[in-house]
Amino acid sequence: MQIDGTLAATHQRRFDQLEAWVRSNFPGGPKTRTFALVGGAVVLWASWPALAVIAYPAPPLLVLGASALIGFLFSFLLAARQKTLTAFAAVPIKTLTFVAIGLMGNNAFYLAAIARIGPAEANVVHYLWPVFLVGLASALHRRAPSLLQTLGIAFGFAGVAIALSPQMGHGFDLTGVLLGACGALTFAIYSVGRSLAKVEMNVVGPSLGVAGVVALAAHFILEPAYWPTTGQWLAIVLMGIGPFTVANIFWDKATREGSAATISSLAFLTPLVAMMLLALFGLGVVSIVTIIGALFAIAGAVLSSGSR
């Protein structure tokens, strides 16, 4: 317990220092701080494909389960430090289950797609989720998509087609594309469900624990035994702390301080930042065609979301 308390105190000090740094270096008021918080969330989310490449070829369910449990532990230590464990443990079972399935399904499909079609291409396919979200919302409200939404959907699918066009001539992997699309659809369904639930408490941390246990159980049943290398463990730990936990903390702060339209438009930069990180660290081949496809997908997402 003393070790856990020390770790929690260390993490809390780092968050306090980061918040103080944001306030001192971005004195332009809440709007500027919101941009800084969203920027941090985008960079952390964008690190996911690069970390997934480093963790490869560790089985997807193992990577997902271990990183989710690390994210849960990190969130638990923060809650203990902030004396909010009662709220941490008060998330309804139905909400825990739904969020855990959404997180596990989305990321498991995404990891499997990366292994088959590459991180940059899987990233573009995954960014069909705003397009799917528009379709689901229209069906839920029993109304046809508007002209602008239809244009956004067309741009989104065109972007995926452009990004995957180099594969057409040599072994197009339909399974990999479908896995990426399933991840996008899962996240769209998850987003619709969360918007309807209107649960204001932070449910990500506790749900990561459920997702981690289920994913590891599925790993032992469905995947071959595997022990990650030191580098792979480092990537898994960073996944759990960064994209799974800290990014969502930044995002949560931003949504409470800024305009939903503004922060959503900034979030659409995630696939481009992800490809920049892949290229910067030499972890994937990012062609101009893939970048053009990503721009089309982002344009589709912006057009679709802007008219909801």
114 in Cβ contact with 108 (< 8 Å): no
131 in Cβ contact with 157 (< 8 Å): yes
Give the model confidence (pLDDT) of 142-187 as tens digits: 777 677 777 877 887 787 788 777 766 566 788 988 999 999 899 8
Listing DSSP states for 113-163 in one string gives HHHHH-HHHHHHHHTTHHHHHHHHHHHHTT-PPPHHHHHHHHHHHHHHHHH
Give the model confidence (pLDDT) of 96-147 as tens digits: 888 888 888 888 898 888 888 888 888 888 878 877 877 787 777 677 767 7
Question: Alpha-carbon dihedral of residues 47, 48, 50, 56, nearest 10 degrees?
Answer: 160
d(CA 43, CA 247) in angstroms, rounded, equals 8
d(CA 156, CA 135) in angstroms, rounded, equals 12
- CB neighbours of residue 53 within 10 Å: 18
- CB neighbours of residue 188 within 10 Å: 22
Question: What share of the chain has pLDDT > 70, as a percent?
Answer: 77
